[in-house]
C-alpha cells in the first residue's frame, strides 16, 4: 500500500483512478489493523460483498514490477497532471547538463538542482526528476526513470528502468531496480535487478549479482519456500530497516528479510528477519529499536508509537516465538 511506485503509492493511485470509491483491506492481524487505522482511516475492513477490483500480494511481485517500470512511470505522468507543466521548464540553479534523445521526455521539477556535466538519456523512456532532487556532476541517468522528492544522486550511472523513492542517497551503478523511500546506496558498487525496501543502508562497494554463471532461471528461497522468478535476470530483495556492510557481495537471488545487519563478505540464500551478522544470530530487540529511532531522526522523522509497537510485535512473532 505504501510502496512508492513512480511518485505515487498504490493507495494514491486508487484514489485518483477511482474517485469516490471505497477501499477495503483483508487482514486478521490486530496490529496491522491498527497500523491501517492510523495511516489510512478511510480504508475499511474487509466484508463480504462484490468488488470491482481485487489486489493481492501476487499482483506486486518484485520481479514482475521491474518489468512494468515503464508503465508505472507513464501512470505517474497520466495521473499527475502537474508534470506536463514542468516538461520544458528547466529552471535550475546550475546549467550545463545534456539531454540525449528528445527534450520533451525529460520532466524536471523547477526546484530540482542539476549540476553541469549531468547526462539525461531519454531515448529509451521518460525521466521524471521530482521536487528538491539534487544531481551532482558526472552522473548518467537513463530512462525510464523516476527519482523521488528530496533524493540526492552523486556520481551515479542509473540505467535499465529504475524507480527511486523520496529522500534517498544514490551513487555508483544501478540497473533496473526499485528503491524505496529513505534508502542509502551512496557509494560505488552495483545494484542490479533488485528490490530494496525503505530505510535500507548499503555500504560502499556492496554489490548484487543479478545473473547466474549458467544463465539459469533465478529461484529465491524465502524461509522454507522456493519461488521461481521466471527470469534469468534478478538480483536481491532487501527488507526494510536492513543494513549491508562495506564490500558485501550478495549472490544472485539473495533475500534479506526485515531488520537485518549483515557484514559477512558473501551473502546467499535467505537471511531470516533481524539477522545479526550471520545466520542464527539476531539483532537484539532494544538495540534494533534504538538504532532505528536514531537513523530516522537523522532524516528529521520520528518513529511513531504505533509503528514501534508494530515492529516490536513483528520481532516477537518472528524471533522470540521461535527461540
pLDDT digit string (tens) for 163-188? 999 999 999 999 999 999 999 999 99
Q: Residue range 150-163: average pLDDT?
A: 97
Q: Which three cell numbers stand for residue 56?
A: 493481492
More confident residue, 323 or 148: 148
Residue 134 falls inside a structural domain:
yes
41 within some domain: no
State the burial class of residue 108 (Cβ atoms within 10 Å of its Cβ: 0-12, 13-18, 19+): buried
Mean pLDDT on 79-87: 80
pLDDT at 33 over 60: yes
Grid coordinates of 178: 526499485
Q: Average pLDDT of 33-46?
A: 82
* Three-class secondary structure of residue 249 per DSSP: strand
Determine, yes or no, domain membership for 27.
no
pLDDT at 34 > cutoff 90 = no
Locate 227 and state its grid cell: 519461488
What is the rounded average pLDDT for all residues in the chain? 91
pLDDT band at 229 (very low <50, low <70, confident <90, very high): very high
User: Does the pLDDT value for residue 93 go beyond 60?
Assistant: no
Q: Which residue has the higher pLDDT, 157 or 38?
A: 157
Contacts (Cβ under 8 Å, ≥6 apart) of 66: 161, 176, 177, 178, 193, 195, 234
Position 87 confidence tier, pLDDT thresholds 50, 70, 90: low
Q: Is the pLDDT of residue 88 over 60?
A: no
Average of per-residue pLDDT across 40-66 = 86
Angle at 312 between CA 310 and CA 314, to 5 degrees: 70
Number of domains in the chain: 1
Whether 86 maps to a domain, the answer reads: yes
CATH number at residue 198: 2.160.10.10
What's the pLDDT score for residue 64?
93
Q: Domain for residue 169, yes or no?
A: yes
pLDDT at position 90 = 55
pLDDT of residue 137: 94
Question: In this predicted structure, what is the pLDDT of residue 59?
Answer: 83
User: Is residue 29 in a domain?
Assistant: no
Q: What is the biggest distance separating any 2 CA atoms in the chain, rounded to whole angstroms? A: 58
Residue-level pLDDT at 250: 97
Pairing of strands 225-228, 219-222: antiparallel
The confidence band for 152, taking pLDDT boundaries of 50, 70 and 90, is: very high
- Residue 40 covered by a domain: no
24 is a domain residue: no
pTM summary value: 0.93
Phi-psi bin for 40: left (phi > 0), alpha (psi -120 to 50), beta?
beta
Asked if pLDDT for residue 289 goes beyond 50, the answer is yes
- Structural domain for 305, as ranges: 76-322
Q: Which of 11, 2, 8, 16 is nearest to 44 (CA)?
A: 11
pLDDT of residue 95: 62
Amino acid at each position: 500500500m505504501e510502496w512508492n511506485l513512480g511518485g505515487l503509492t498504490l493507495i494514491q493511485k486508487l484514489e485518483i483512478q477511482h474517485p469516490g470509491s471505497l477501499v477495503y483491506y483483508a487482514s486478521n492481524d490486530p496490529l496491522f489493523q491498527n497500523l491501517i487505522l492510523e495511516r489510512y482511516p478511510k480504508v475499511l475492513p474487509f466484508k463480504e460483498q462484490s468488488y470491482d477490483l481485487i489486489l493481492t500480494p501476487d499482483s506486486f511481485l518484485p520481479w514482475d514490477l521491474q518489468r512494468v517500470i515503464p508503465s508505472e512511470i507513464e501512470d505517474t505522468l497520466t495521473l499527475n497532471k502537474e508534470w506536463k507543466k514542468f516538461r520544458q521548464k528547466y529552471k535550475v540553479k546550475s546549467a550545463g547538463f545534456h539531454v540525449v534523445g528528445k527534450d520533451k521526455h525529460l520532466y524536471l521539477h523547477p526546484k530540482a538542482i542539476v549540476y553541469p556535466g549531468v547526462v539525461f538519456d531519454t531515448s529509451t523512456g521518460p525521466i521524471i526528476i521530482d521536487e528538491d532532487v539534487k544531481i551532482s556532476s558526472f552522473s548518467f541517468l537513463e530512462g525510464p526513470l523516476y527519482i523521488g522528492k528530496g533524493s540526492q544522486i552523486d556520481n551515479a550511472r542509473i540505467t535499465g528502468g529504475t524507480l527511486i523513492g523520496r529522500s534517498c542517497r544514490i551513487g555508483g551503478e544501478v540497473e533496473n531496480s526499485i528503491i524505496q523511500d529513505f534508502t542509502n546506496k551512496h557509494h560505488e558498487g552495483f545494484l542490479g535487478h533488485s528490490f530494496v525496501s525503505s530505510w535500507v543502508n548499503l555500504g560502499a562497494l556492496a554489490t548484487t549479482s543479478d545473473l547466474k554463471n549458467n544463465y539459469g532461471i533465478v529461484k529465491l528461497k524465502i524461509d522454507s519456500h522456493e519461488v521461481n522468478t521466471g527470469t534469468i535476470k534478478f538480483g536481491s530483495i532487501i527488507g526494510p530497516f536492513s543494513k549491508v556492510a562495506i564490500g558485501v557481495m550478495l549472490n544472485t537471488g539473495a533475500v534479506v528479510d526485515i531488520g537485518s545487519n549483515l557484514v559477512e563478505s558473501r551473502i546467499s540464500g535467505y537471511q531470516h528477519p533481524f539477522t545479526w551478522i550471520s545466520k542464527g544470530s539476531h539483532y537484539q530487540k532494544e538495540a534494533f529499536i534504538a538504532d532505528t529511532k536514531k537513523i530516522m531522526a537523522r532524516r528529521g522523522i520520528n518513529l511513531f508509537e504505533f509503528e514501534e509497537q508494530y515492529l516490536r510485535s513483528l520481532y516477537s512473532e518472528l524471533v522470540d516465538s521461535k527461540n
